Amino acid sequence: MAERCNGRIAKILRAERFVSAADLQETLTRYLWACNHRIPQRALGHMTPIERLRTWQMEGPELFSSQVDNVAGLDS
């Protein structure tokens, strides 16, 4: 799953021209949101990653230190 996501990001980087670092960051943030919220994954039972995390959290809340939220962003 991670390799496919990385491949899609590489494709975006080859296809787009970014006028600034902020433009690049906005594009990547939007893409990560789409990956996590809109693109179902076969490995996750045809659920999006956020849907699957929420399911896991309901099944075993003790495994999570915080709520699964809707905020996608780049690692800092």
Q: Give 35-73 pLDDT, tens digit per residue.
A: 888 989 998 999 999 999 999 999 998 988 887 775 555
Backbone angles phi, psi at 47, to 5 degrees: -110, 160
| Separation of first and last alpha carbons in the chain | 21
- The H or E element spanning position 54 is helix 49-59
Q: pTM of the full predicted structure?
A: 0.70
Whether the pLDDT of residue 76 is over 70: the answer is no
Query: What pLDDT sits at residue 60?
Result: 92
Q: What is the pLDDT of residue 26?
A: 93
